[in-house]
Amino acid sequence: MRVRLFITAVAAALLAVPAANAGLLDPITQLVLPTCGSNSYPFQQFGDRHAYYHFSNNGFESGSNGWSLSGGAYVGSGNEPWYANGWGSRSLTLPPGASATSPSFCINLLDPAVRMFTRGSNGSTLQIQVVFRGLTGNITGIFNYDDENGSGAWSPSDRVSSQLALPLLTSSAQIRVTAASGTWQVDDAFVDPWITGG
């Protein structure tokens, strides 16, 4: 009987060790793999099964609040037609050469990606970048980039992925969109903080 009690006590102690250590590792886990927000599947109807989350004012329904606009960029009327972010009536407009940078959002050290809805004039080009920032707001890297070609109709952008882990000491990121040529509209930007889905 004593042997059985001893074995039970040892087993309970061993099972408690990982749980105790997990508590100690929580701050590190949250820094490296933070929980960035609830998941949704805004691009599923386009064959993209990755889980994304939205960040503050990602659909421009609060005007330019949180965004930095330059070169004549402005928030005007017109929403992407699938209402992936819920009902809305506004979007970002970028005249040729204009640029906009999003509010900072949560990211982790795995392979992050962003995607949004865009509409550009025929033959135009939109540049999408993701700017990674450190704890003090310093830029740690600009690894994500993509050039979208305008067709005159709304469509989901490409999935813009870094294909690499983030630079060390990265704590947040921002999306930067620039109308390299032509006029563009941008709406409902989403973040996949790590590779998820299929």
pLDDT digits (tens, 9 = 90+) for 81-127: 999 999 999 999 999 999 999 999 888 666 678 999 999 999 999 99
Name the residue among 9, 26, 101 with its Cα closest to residue 58.
101
Span 36-55, mean pLDDT? 90
On whether the CB atoms of residues 170 and 136 are closer than 8 A, the answer is no
Confidence of residue 24 (pLDDT cuts 50, 70, 90): very low
Average pLDDT, the chain: 81
On whether the CB atoms of residues 113 and 159 are closer than 8 A, the answer is yes
> Could you tell me the CA-to-CA distances from 5 to 1, 11, 12, 14, 169 in Å, in that order?
6, 10, 11, 14, 48
pLDDT at 44: 95
Q: Which three-class secondary structure state does DSSP give residue 5?
A: helix
- Decide if pLDDT at 7 tops 90: no
Cα–Cα distance between 3 and 184 in angstroms, integer?
A: 75
Cα–Cα distance between 114 and 129 in angstroms, integer?
A: 9
Helices (H), 63-126: none
Give the other-Cβ count within 10 Å of 86's Cβ.
12
On whether the CB atoms of residues 143 and 132 are closer than 8 A, the answer is yes
Assigned CATH topology for domain 39-192: Jelly Rolls (2.60.120)
Instruction: Pick 35 or 13 by higher pLDDT.
Output: 35
Element (H, E) at 184: strand 184-192
Name the residue among 109, 71, 92 with its Cα closest to residue 187.
92
Confidence of residue 8 (pLDDT cuts 50, 70, 90): very low
Which tens digit of pLDDT belongs to each residue from 123-179? 999 999 988 888 888 888 887 789 999 999 999 999 988 666 667 778 788 999 999
Tokens of 178: 């620039």
Q: State pTM to two decimals.
A: 0.79
Write down the domain spans for the chain: 1-32, 39-192
